[in-house]
C-alpha cells in the first residue's frame, strides 16, 4: 500500500535504453540515482547549475548531457521518465506538474506522495542453481521499509549476499543496519572492481550494504549507491582528470571523523584498493587514528579491462609476463618513475592505466626503446559498462586511437601480441 493507505502502485520495469530521461538537480540524490539510469542505457539530460564531481565526471566522459542551468518550462518535452531532485520544492513541483501534463511519469525525490512514480529499493540477484540472474525491487512508499523487505528477500534467495555474520551489537548504527555491521571493523577499504555493479566481490557488497557512510570514487560501481538505505551518507570523493578533486587529506579526515562517531565507513574504490588507488595511504591514516580497518580486494581493471575486451593478459607461448604501469604523466616528465626503455625490451603484455591523454607519447617512447611499430595494441574505454569501447591498431597508431575516444573517458592501453589473437574467440560466451 502507498503512504496514504490507498491503492497500491502497479509495478513495472522500464526499458530505458536509448530513451531520454530528464533529471533536474545535481546534488546527492541525483548522484545516487543517475548512475543506475546510465547503466540502463538511458540518454540522460541533467539540468542543474551545479553538479557533484561524480556527475561532472559522467558528463565529461560523454555518458550523460549536462545542461548547466536551472530548470525551464519545456524541459520535459521528449522525456520518457523524469526525476525531480533539486534542492527547491517549488522547482520539483513545477517539474512534476509539467510531467503530469505531458503524461510522463515523474519521481519527486522530496515528496513521494506527490510523485506519479516511486523509486523502489533494488538489488541484483546473481544466477544460482536452476535460477537465472534477476533484479529484486520492493516498493512500499516508505524507503526504510522497502529496503528492509528487499534485504530479507535477498537473504532468503541468495544467503551469500545477506547480512554479515557475527554482527557487533555494541556498535549501534544509526538505523536498522546494526545487525549487518561486521564485528571488529570501523572502516572497510573496498575494491569495487572495474565499474559494473555485478563485478564487485561478494564480501565487498556485504560491506557496502552494512555501511552508514560511503566515501565513493568516480570509478567505483556507483550504480550500487542507489540500492543503499535512504539515510546512508554518501560522500563524493571523485577526482576528475585535470579538474575538481577532493583532496586526499579531506578524504582521510572524513573517514576518520565518521568512524570516530561510531558509524561504519566504507571507502568504495574502483578496481583494487592497492593498485594505483592510494589504498595503503588511507589504511595508514586510519591506523594512525586507532581505527580498525579491513581491506577488501577488488578486481583490478588492469586485468578485467583487457578480459572484457576479449584480450587475455597472458597466453601460453606468446606472452609470459604482464606489466602494469600508470601513464598519468608522459614518459618525458620528470615525475614519471616508469622505465619505458626497459618496458620496450620486454616481449610480453604492457597494460597502461590512466594513459589515454598521454597515449601518443607512450607509443613513441616504446618505439624509440625498440618495440616494433606494428605491435598490436588496443584502447579500452568504459570497460564493463554498456557503452564500453574497444579500438585496435598498431603501436605507432596508439595516440590516434586514444584521440577517438571521449576526452575524459576512463580507459586503459593494452600493448602486446595478445591483442592480435582471434577476436571472435575472445568474445565467445558459452551457451546457457
Cite the active site residues: 217, 239
CB atoms under 10 Å from CB of 369, counted, come to 16
Give the list of residues 6+ apart from residue 14 with CB closer than 8 angstroms, or none.
Answer: 40, 80, 81
CB atoms under 10 Å from CB of 299, counted, come to 23
Are 8 and 1 a contacting pair, CB within 8 Å?
A: yes
CA distance 86 to 70: 10
b/e string for 253-278 if b means 16 or more Cβ within 10 A? ebbbebbeeebbbbbbbbbbbbbbbb
Give the three-class secondary structure for 415.
strand
> Phi, psi (5° rounding) for residue 380?
-115, 125
Site of grid cell 584498493: 273
Give the closest residue to 301 by CA, choosing from 278, 267, 277: 277
Q: Which residues pair with 193 in a beta bridge?
A: 271
> Phi, psi (5° rounding) for residue 315?
-155, 130
Rg of the chain over CA atoms, in angstroms?
23
Residue 198 corresponds to which cell in the numbers above?
A: 555485478
Give the closest residue to 188 by CA, choosing from 207, 174, 201: 207
Are 121 and 138 a contacting pair, CB within 8 Å?
A: yes
| CB burial of residue 80 (10 Å; 0-12, 13-18, 19+) | middle
Amino acid at each position: 500500500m502507498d503512504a496514504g493507505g490507498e491503492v497500491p502502485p502497479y509495478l513495472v520495469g522500464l526499458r530505458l535504453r536509448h530513451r531520454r530521461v530528464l533529471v533536474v538537480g545535481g546534488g546527492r540524490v541525483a548522484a545516487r540515482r543517475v548512475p543506475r539510469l546510465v547503466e540502463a542505457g538511458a540518454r540522460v539530460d541533467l539540468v542543474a547549475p551545479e553538479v557533484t564531481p561524480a556527475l561532472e565526471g559522467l558528463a565529461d566522459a560523454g555518458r550523460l548531457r549536462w545542461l548547466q542551468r536551472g530548470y525551464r518550462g519545456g524541459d520535459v518535452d521528449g522525456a520518457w521518465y523524469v526525476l525531480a531532485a533539486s534542492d527547491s520544492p517549488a522547482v520539483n513541483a513545477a517539474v512534476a506538474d509539467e510531467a503530469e501534463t505531458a503524461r510522463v511519469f515523474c519521481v519527486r525525490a522530496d515528496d513521494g506522495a506527490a510523485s506519479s512514480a516511486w523509486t523502489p529499493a533494488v538489488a541484483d540477484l546473481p544466477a544460482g542453481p536452476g535460477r537465472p540472474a534477476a533484479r529484486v525491487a520492493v516498493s512500499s512508499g516508505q524507503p526504510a521499509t522497502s529496503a528492509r523487505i528487499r534485504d530479507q528477500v535477498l537473504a532468503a534467495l541468495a544467503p551469500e549476499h545477506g547480512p554479515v555474520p557475527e554482527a557487533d551489537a555494541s556498535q549501534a548504527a544509526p538505523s536498522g543496519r546494526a545487525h549487518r555491521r561486521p564485528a571488529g571493523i570501523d572502516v572497510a577499504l573496498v575494491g569495487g572492481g572495474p565499474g559494473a555493479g555485478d563485478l564487485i566481490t561478494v564480501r565487498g557488497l556485504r560491506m557496502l550494504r552494512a555501511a552508514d557512510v560511503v566515501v565513493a570514487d568516480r570509478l567505483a560501481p556507483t550504480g550500487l549507491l542507489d540500492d543503499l538505505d535512504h539515510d546512508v551518507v554518501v560522500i563524493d570523493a571523485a577526482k576528475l582528470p585535470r579538474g575538481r578533486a577532493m583532496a586526499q587529506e579531506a578524504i582521510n579526515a572524513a573517514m576518520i571523523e565518521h568512524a570516530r562517531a561510531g558509524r561504519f565507513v566504507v571507502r568504495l574504490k574502483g578496481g583494487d584498493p592497492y593498485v594505483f588507488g592510494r589504498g595503503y595511504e588511507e589504511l595508514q591514516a586510519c591506523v594512525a587514528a586507532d581505527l580498525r580497518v579491513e581491506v577488501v580486494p577488488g578486481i583490478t581493471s588492469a586485468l578485467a579491462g583487457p578480459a572484457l575486451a576479449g584480450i587475455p593478459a597472458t597466453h601460453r607461448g606468446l606472452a609470459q609476463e604482464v606489466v602494469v604501469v600508470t601513464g598519468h604523466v608522459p614518459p618525458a616528465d620528470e615525475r614519471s618513475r616508469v622505465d619505458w626503455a626497459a618496458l620496450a625490451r620486454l616481449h610480453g603484455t604492457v597494460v597502461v592505466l590512466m594513459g589515454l591523454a598521454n597515449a601518443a607519447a607512450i607509443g613513441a617512447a616504446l618505439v624509440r626503446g625498440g618495440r616494433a611499430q606494428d605491435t598490436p595494441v588496443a584502447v579500452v574505454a568504459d570497460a564493463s559498462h554498456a557503452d564500453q569501447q574497444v579500438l585496435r591498431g598498431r603501436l605507432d597508431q596508439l595516440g590516434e586511437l586514444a584521440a577517438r575516444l571521449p576526452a575524459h573517458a576512463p580507459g586503459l592501453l593494452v600493448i602486446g601480441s595478445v591483442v592480435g589473437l582471434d577476436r571472435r574467440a575472445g568474445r565467445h560466451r558459452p551457451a546457457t
